[in-house]
Amino acid sequence: MHVGYGTGFQHLSDYPDCVFMREELGFCEMAESLGMDSVWATEHHFDNYSMSPDVLQLMSYLAGRTKRIRLGSMVIVLPWHDPMRVAEQVILLDHFSNGRFIMGIGRGLARKEFEGLRIEQSEARLRFREYAELLLTALETGVMEGGEMTRQPRREIRPGPYRSFKGRAFGAAASPESVPMIARLGLGLLIIPQKPWDLIRADFDVYHQTWQEVNGADSEPPSPFVSGFAFIDESADRAKELAYKYIGANYRKALEHYEMTSSHFGAKKSYEHYNQISQHLNAIGVDQATEDFVNVMPHGTPKQVLEQFWLIKEKIDMQGIMPNFNFGGMPYAEAERNLKCFVKHCMPEIKSWPATSSLEPVETAAA
């Protein structure tokens, strides 16, 4: 199975951004020397929930700093970008990296980000579907044209595509309405866990049904990739205590960033599902919601973490994982210990688990 390093560039401490950025970039580069298969980053704007406003620029930097490791986006938020520019940047990154890029795309959620980027959030689903169709076609053909909203004149993209993105293009979906759309677009599922795994498993039933309706009963979609947070310690008591501290701090920051408990959450067109989440959060309270979120994420001793990842694999049979090991304001030394503990005690076994990869081999850069 594929094992990657996921980062959100979450900086909840009070030391300078420039110091934190060098530390987290160091972890991204360290992932290759530790034997991990990929490094992934998010796209977010305007606060310290995630200081990663340009995932393609970041991955281009890492393409030059690494030789072997694959580079993933979780995700490029398509409604915030011109689809032609995304296509050009993705193709250029693919050339820089000898085809190492794994593309994840999504439609975004936070009101402050849509407003700050001057994009009408109620148009997000329409924009995502149209931009995704234009982008995916351009990545295969090297040409983009059309779109009711985009009205893109026919233009050839140069350099042309490095190679096909079939099998290495994924979409994030958290709402019941988004899951079938990801299947219709021909994308694999990129799971960013927000709810219990049994509910996520139910989404897969819808996804596979839609995929086969579109592509034929004998067609199988790419196995998913799974992100999330992990905290590992050889002491069970310390692992539990610090998992609740740091994963909990991350979740409380997410509540703030997305305004999950406010009347704004889920008020926009095509985001109605999230209003139910807001009502649920307000009904159970922040403390219970935080505890529930922590319990979704693998944490504990290496043995406990392996058991939790195996349970996830039994639910959704993913081809790869890319946990985040630095979050919630944990000190650098703790994040490094967390990552290296996982690499030493968990990663060898997880890599040995059977998985159906949709990723073709790539040519690695010369030493």
CA–CA separation, 57 and 161 (whole Å): 18
- pLDDT tier for residue 365 given thresholds of 50, 70 and 90: low
Length of the chain equals: 367
Q: Taking residues 298-309, what's their average pLDDT?
A: 98
Q: What is the DSSP letter of 259?
A: T
Question: How many CB atoms are located within 10 Å of the residue 116 CB?
Answer: 13
CA angle at residue 218 from 215 to 222, to 5 degrees? 65
- Predicted local confidence at residue 266, as pLDDT: 81
pLDDT > 80? residue 174: no
Among 29-38, 47-56, 175-184, the least confident range: 175-184
- Predicted local confidence at residue 30, as pLDDT: 97
pLDDT > 60? residue 323: yes
pLDDT > 80? residue 348: yes
Rg (CA), the chain: 20
CA–CA separation, 228 and 193 (whole Å): 6
pLDDT > 50? residue 3: yes
Tokens of 37: 């298969």
At position 87, the amino acid (one-letter code) is: A
Residue-by-residue DSSP string for 197-209: HHHHHHHHHHHHH
CA–CA separation, 81 and 316 (whole Å): 31
Residue ranges of domains in the chain: 2-352
Which tens digits make up the pLDDT trace of 41-84?
999 999 999 999 999 999 999 999 999 999 999 999 999 999 99
Domain 2-352 annotated CATH 3.20.20.30: yes
- Predicted local confidence at residue 367, as pLDDT: 43
Tokens of 317: 């049979």
Which tens digits make up the pLDDT trace of 159-173?
999 999 999 999 998
Q: Taking residues 325-343, what's their average pLDDT?
A: 98
Residue 16: phi and psi, rounded to 5, are -60, 145
Mean pLDDT over all residues of the chain? Answer: 95
SS3 188: strand
